[in-house]
Amino acid sequence: MLLSWQFWAVMSAIFAALTAVFAKVGIENINSDFATFIRTIVILVVLAAILSIIGGWQPINTISTKTWVFLVLSGLATGASWLCYFRALKLGDAARVAPIDKMSVVLVAVFGVTFLGEKLSLPNWLGICLIATGAVLVAYRG
C-alpha cells in the first residue's frame, strides 16, 4: 500500500484538509504572511529531519540545471499559493476557501493537457467539470 500513488494522494487530501482547519484557527490573531513564514519553517525542519533519518540527502552537484529551474519555479508557485491561501483563510470561511483552492485540480488537468501533452478521456473531463461545479457550489453563500 505504501507504494500506491492512490494511498499517498488520499493522505495528501487528509493533510490538506487538516491544514485548512489548523490554519484557520492558527491565523486568528496573527498576520497571514507571518503565519505562512512560521509554517514554512516548520516544514523545513520536519523535512530536514526526515531526510536525515532516511538518508535522503543528495549532493547538490548531482542535480541538473533543468531540475533546479523547475524546482525553483515550483517553490515560487508554492510560496505564492500558500500566501494567497492563508490570506484567503484570514478573510473567509475555511469551508468556502478550501473548495476554491481545490480548483487547482481543474487547472492541473487543463495545464497537464496543454503543456505536458497528457490525455484525458470524456469521463475524465466530465469529472473535471463536476469538480469545478462542486467547488463553486460549496463556496457559494446563498
Quickly state the pLDDT bin for 1 (edges 50, 70, 90).
Answer: confident
> What is the mean pLDDT of the segment spanning 105-132?
97
Q: Please, which residues have CB within 8 angstroms of residue 119's CB and are 6 or more apart in sequence?
A: 113
Counted residue by residue, the chain has a size of: 142
Q: pLDDT digit string (tens) for 33-72?
A: 999 999 999 999 999 999 999 999 999 999 999 999 999 9
Other residues' Cβ atoms within 10 Å of the Cβ of residue 19: 19
The pTM for the full model equals 0.85
Task: Check residue 44 and give its pLDDT.
Answer: 97
Which grid cell is 63? 542535480
Chain segment 68-95, per-residue pLDDT in tens? 999 999 999 999 999 999 999 999 999 9
Q: Specify the pLDDT at position 141.
A: 85
Mean pLDDT computed over every residue of the chain: 95
Question: Which are the contacts of 55, defined by CB distance < 8 A and separation ≥ 6?
Answer: none
Q: Is the pLDDT of residue 28 over 80?
A: yes
- Residue 124: count of CB within 10 angstroms of its CB: 13
Residues 6+ apart with CB under 8 A from 33: 83, 86, 87
pLDDT at 2: 85
C-alpha closest to that of 23 among 83, 106, 103: 83
CB distance 17 to 98 below 8 Å: yes
Look at residue 142 in the predicted model and tell me its pLDDT: 77
Alpha-carbon 110 to chain mean position = 16
d(CA 53, CA 34): 29
